[in-house]
């Protein structure tokens, strides 16, 4: 009887584990859906502020650690940028997916706009970490700057363009 009770409890626990997995999956799906809504809002804000588009060459993803090393000479800066990526990493894939949904003209507009903003800050003589953080603050929707979801997704938006070499220096393999 004792053995049967344990088997029944094991069965109950299995059911509970599966229910927990289902709930986690539903939570993740709802979280992604919410993130896409925020991403859309950020996109609309950026697209609304776009000037002219520039044609940019096709890009490949590169070794991120090499790119960070090239652009951030100070170890503390590298660690900080790695932390930005760590917290925004899962969101970058959502950004990439959302960008791919746009037609090529909008994609070019986004790349051209980020490239122009990056170069304007570079021309001001800011160091790379200052440029990166300034871009984060320039692209956050003003009334959402205190919202953690929006700030993280905005960082992911900028880091996507860092990763795909629209902004900052390229590695040798990317050149």
Burial of 100 (0-12, 13-18, 19+ CB in 10 A): exposed
Give a yes or no: residue 148 inside a domain. yes
Give a yes or no: residue 175 inside a domain. no
Q: What's the pLDDT score for residue 167?
A: 96
Cα angle 105, 122, 72 (rounded to 5 degrees) comes to: 105
Q: Give me the torsion for CA of 9, 11, 14, 18, rounded to 10°.
A: -120
The range of the structural domain enclosing residue 138 comes to 2-163
Q: Are 150 and 38 in contact (CB under 8 A)?
A: yes
Total domains in the fold of the chain? 1
Residue-wise pLDDT tens for the chain (175 aa)? 444 444 444 444 434 444 454 454 444 455 666 776 777 777 777 766 654 333 333 333 447 888 999 999 999 999 999 999 999 988 998 999 999 999 999 999 999 999 999 999 999 999 999 999 999 999 999 999 999 999 999 999 999 999 998 999 987 777 7
Q: What's the pLDDT score for residue 45?
A: 73
Give a yes or no: residue 51 inside a domain. yes
H or E stretch covering 18: helix 2-48
Q: What's the pLDDT score for residue 63?
A: 76
Q: Are 94 and 107 in contact (CB under 8 A)?
A: no
Distance (Å, whole) CA 153 – CA 35: 8
How many angstroms separate the most distant Cα atoms in the chain?
79
Whole-model pTM: value is: 0.66
Give a yes or no: residue 44 inside a domain. yes
Give a yes or no: residue 26 inside a domain. yes
What angle in degrees, to the nearest 10, is found between the helix axes of 2-48 and 128-139? Answer: 90
Give a yes or no: residue 168 inside a domain. no
Give a yes or no: residue 173 inside a domain. no
Give a yes or no: residue 169 inside a domain. no
């Amino acid at each position: 009887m004792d053995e049967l009770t344990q088997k029944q409890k094991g069965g109950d626990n299995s059911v509970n584990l599966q229910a927990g997995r289902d709930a986690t999956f539903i939570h993740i799906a709802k979280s992604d859906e919410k993130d896409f809504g925020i991403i859309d809002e950020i996109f609309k804000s950026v697209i609304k502020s776009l000037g002219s588009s520039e044609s940019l060459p096709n890009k490949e993803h590169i070794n991120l650690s090499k790119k960070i090393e090239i652009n951030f000479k100070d170890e503390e800066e590298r660690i900080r940028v790695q932390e930005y990526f760590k917290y925004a990493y899962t969101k970058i894939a959502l950004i990439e997916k959302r960008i791919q949904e746009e037609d090529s003209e909008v994609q070019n507009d986004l790349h051209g706009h980020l490239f122009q903003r990056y170069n304007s800050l570079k021309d001001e003589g800011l160091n790379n970490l200052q440029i990166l953080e300034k871009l984060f603050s320039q692209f956050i929707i003003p009334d959402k700057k205190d919202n953690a979801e929006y700030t993280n997704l905005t960082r992911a938006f900028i880091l996507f363009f860092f990763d795909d070499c629209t902004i900052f220096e390229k590695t040798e393999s990317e050149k």
